[in-house]
Structure 1
Amino acid sequence: MEVQVDDHREVLVSELLRHATQAVSLEIVPDVAEWAKANHVTVVGNPIATSLPVRGQLPRAVVVRAKLSEGDLSGVLGRLDFSGHWGETREMRKDLVMFLRHLVLHELAHLENNWGQSREDDCDEWAFARLAA
């Protein structure tokens, strides 16, 4: 199974508009690491998504890989299961749009709260709270 993220752009942009306190763009790209390198941004590894604060004249951004494989989904869902979000991950396995909405909101949480990678669980909680709202 492969998820084409751009097929869901409208709903993802809507989530950003609804929950962001400042302008944030959604960048859907073939490869996050290559996009980061081309835009002079440092990311660790090649994540399926990342968030970037304001860069010069460029607004804040949530960057998401355009195609997500089943392995990509399983990696995120496994981490969420490990953190105790079994009910949520069960729903996300059935509803891939919910997975994508959570992914984008998780990245937005980093921006809205100025949280680094050590706050992954907090970002998940923040995203789930907004999904439930």
Structure 2
Amino acid sequence: MIGCDYPEGEQYAARALELDPNADLSIAAAVALQMLKRGDARAARELTSEYMASSPRKDPALELTYMLASAMLGEKDEARRIWKTMATGYGLTENSSPREVLDQWIDNPTLVTEILTVFDRSGIFKK
């Protein structure tokens, strides 16, 4: 619903997370991305931290939203550390472009464009 710009999509996804703490990590990442798009980096960071700590597996979308939230909160070193881990996990370098890394697992060009907009606002690569 979020991907189709359904107005209440975020509310439904957040409610799904409340009802099922074992919900797919991509749902948490989608909600966190919506928070970032609104500029609420602190809430996005809290949500992603909670799910990353409780998950036995890594999820690239959750790591991405955590990284973007960290950058938006001024924690550039932490954001760059996560970025390096993500990029090298796909056989790329930390100097790879965001699009190059995102294209490794996201097929939806609209979603990539939305994430790149948040990426630009995060200022992760600015000193």
Higher helix share: 2
Larger RCO of the pair (alpha carbons < 8 Å, separation 6+): 1
TM-score (norm 1): 0.26
Higher strand share: 1
